[in-house]
Amino acid sequence: MTKYTHKKIAGKLAAKAATATEEVSPEDVSELKTIGEGIRSLGRRTTEQGFELGGFLARAKAILPERALGAWVKAICKFSTKTARNYIAIHENLADYKERLVAAGITSTALFVLAYADSEKVEDVLAAFEAGEDLTVAQVKTMVGATPPNKEAEENPPEIGGAAGLRRMAEIKIEQDSVKFFQLTTAILQRVNTAMQPLAKNRAVIKKSLQDLIVNDCRHAHDLINSIAAPLEPSMIAGVNWRPSKLPKDSAWRKVQALLYKMGSKETWPAREDFVPWLQNEVVPLLRFVVHGEALPANAEDQSRDDVAVQSEDEADDGLLTYGHMPPAVQDTIEGALQIVSPDNRDEIRAQILFDPRPSKRQYKKLAA
């Protein structure tokens, strides 16, 4: 058996590099030698050096024939052609963001993901890093929607029948909904953190500004967590659509479900004196639980146990329907009555109305103030 030593391996790689340059001019061979020396001079792979390496490899790619690039890269860089193309993509696709990416200290593996993402998604990830979020590569992939291709999905699962086809369609839906959910919750957490920055200078956190930025996203995130994780439960009357049930009682995800429900309506946010403590003790810990997988501190669990958001959703235990779950005819009646109210106040009134669907009690009920 041949005993491979570092010297022999180096010799084989050098031979491959020489073979790769056989089809280029002497001037280009000299340029490739300079590029190789530049690559070897790079130290540990900092963010800036990742860009520099991509620049060197882009120069080599422009010189070498396509079929020779892999051998040259393996000889000089000791990694695969795929990795080389990733570094080239960093250099070519992220040049406009270089200064901010370097300042944020984003790792090469995260840069590989961003190099193939839309500019809007790159901005979202950068904003999160710049706000102090320590995102993992998996979280960056989720934010940009970079999910690995699935062989079975390529076989047109909508045309697969039976239980196997239905399960595959459900898996695809959950994958897609989960990406959207984590994109929304990551953006919500980033905006909450940004809104709270004035506290460091003993300045006020502006409630209305934060609401304008995240209320709709919270509402959509609440819809998504219901779509992903909450089973449907039948209504008390056959003609009313089934609706998502609550997640397991006292679980952390139940608290997340309740929090997003509360944050999705401006009228249910705490008053000014309770607003900042609510953000610090409940909103941020629960969102970090979702985005970063951090365990909830004991005080967040205790406080959220009696939260108004949970109480608001638990009104459904009495059989009362919120506006979004009322029969269309009832919604039409409410909309007709709201015509005499200023449009600015209609959402607030809708949030306060509950409907009892039981035949013996056909009446509207208004939440106590």
Element (H, E) at 343: helix 343-352
Q: Give pLDDT, residue 297.
A: 83
**Domain co-membership, 270 together with 220:** yes
pTM above 0.75, yes or no: no
289 with 151, same domain: the answer is yes
Q: Which residue has the higher pLDDT, 236 or 109?
A: 109
- For 70-127, the pLDDT digits (tens) are 888 888 888 888 899 999 999 999 999 999 999 888 988 899 999 998 888 899 898 8
- Domain shared by 152 and 279, yes or no: yes
- For residue 46, being part of any structural domain is answered with yes
Last residue of a domain, one of 93, 122, 139: 93
What are the pLDDT digits (tens) for 160-212? 778 888 888 888 888 889 989 998 999 999 999 999 999 999 999 999 999 99
Q: Which string of DSSP letters, residue by residue, matches 157-226?
A: GGG--HHHHHHHHHHHHHHHHHHHHHHHHHHHHHHHHHHTGGGGGT----HHHHHHHHHHHHHHHHHHHH
- The residues near 205 (Cβ < 8 Å, ≥ 6 apart) are 195, 196, 198, 199, 275, 276, 279
What is the percentage of the chain residues whose pLDDT exceeds 70? Answer: 80
Interatomic CA distance for residues 227 and 235, integer angstroms: 17
Q: Residue 121 domain-assigned? A: no
Query: Do 153 and 227 sit in the same domain of this protein?
Result: yes
Residue 36: is its pLDDT beyond 90?
no
Residues 6+ apart with CB under 8 A from 60: 32, 35, 69, 72, 73, 76
Q: Is the pLDDT of residue 29 over 50?
A: yes
Assigned domain for 185 exists = yes
- 280 inside domain: yes
pLDDT in tens, 295-324: 888 754 445 444 444 444 544 445 567 777
Integer angstrom CA distances of residue 161 from 166, 168, 306: 7, 10, 46
Chosen domain end from 273, 306, 339: 306
Q: What is the pLDDT of residue 156?
A: 62
The CA–CA distances, whole Å, from 179 to 144, 149, 176, 182, 286 equal: 8, 14, 5, 5, 18
pLDDT of residue 130: 86
Reported as a pLDDT band with limits 50, 70 and 90, residue 215 is: very high
> Which residue from 182, 193, 249, 250 is spatially nearest to 217, judged by alpha carbons?
182
Per the structure, how many domains does the chain have? 3
User: Is 364 in a helix, a strand, or coil?
Assistant: strand
Alpha helices in 131-161 (DSSP H): 137-144, 151-154
Q: Quick one: tokens of 279?
A: 């953000």
pLDDT of residue 68: 81
Does 274 map to a domain? yes
Residue with tokens 């690559």, as numbered in its chain: 39
> Which of 93, 127, 160 is a domain's end point?
93
Provide the pLDDT for residue 210: 95
Given this model, what pLDDT does residue 359 score? 54
Residues 332 and 342: their CA atoms lie apart, in Å, by 17
| Residues in contact with 105: Cβ distance below 8 Å, sequence separation at least 6, in sequence order | 46, 47
209 and 253 both lie in a single domain: yes
- Co-location of 240 and 177 in the same domain: yes
- Residue 117 domain-assigned (yes or no): no
Q: What does the alpha-carbon distance between residue 185 and residue 295 come to, in Å, rounded to a whole number?
A: 16
Quickly state the pLDDT bin for 11 (edges 50, 70, 90).
very low
Least confident of 6-20, 88-102, 239-253, 330-344: 6-20
Cβ 150 vs Cβ 174: under 8 Å: no
Model pLDDT, residue 330: 80
Query: Is 70 exceeded by the pLDDT of residue 54?
Result: yes
The per-residue pLDDT for range 119-162, each reduced to its tens digit, is 888 998 988 888 888 888 888 888 887 755 444 444 566 777 78
Residue 8's pLDDT is what? 45
Closest CA to 16 of 78, 60, 58, 86: 78
* Residue 151 and residue 291 share a domain: yes
Is there a domain that residue 131 lies in? no
Are residues 152 and 184 both part of a single domain?
Answer: yes
Residues 284, 241 share a domain: yes
Q: Are residues 249 and 296 in the same domain?
A: yes
The CA distance from 262 to 286, in Å, is: 13
- At residue 80, the 3 state secondary structure works out as coil
Name the residue with tokens 């995130």.
Answer: 221
Q: Indicate if 329 and 284 belong to the same structural domain.
A: no
* Residues 301 and 354 both lie in one domain: no
On whether residue 316 sits in a domain, the answer given is no
Q: What is the structure's pLDDT at 293?
A: 85
Query: At residue 354, what are phi and psi to the nearest 5 degrees?
Result: -125, 150
Q: What is the pLDDT of residue 23?
A: 59
pLDDT for 239-281, tens place per residue?
778 888 899 988 999 999 999 999 999 989 999 889 999 999 9
Per DSSP, what are the bridge partners of residue 232?
244
Give the domain range for residue 16.
Answer: 6-93
3-state helix vs strand vs coil in the chain, percent to 5 = 70, 5, 25
For residues 156 and 35, what is the distance between their CA atoms, to the nearest angstrom?
Answer: 46
Whether the CB-CB separation of 22 and 74 falls below 8 Å is answered with: no
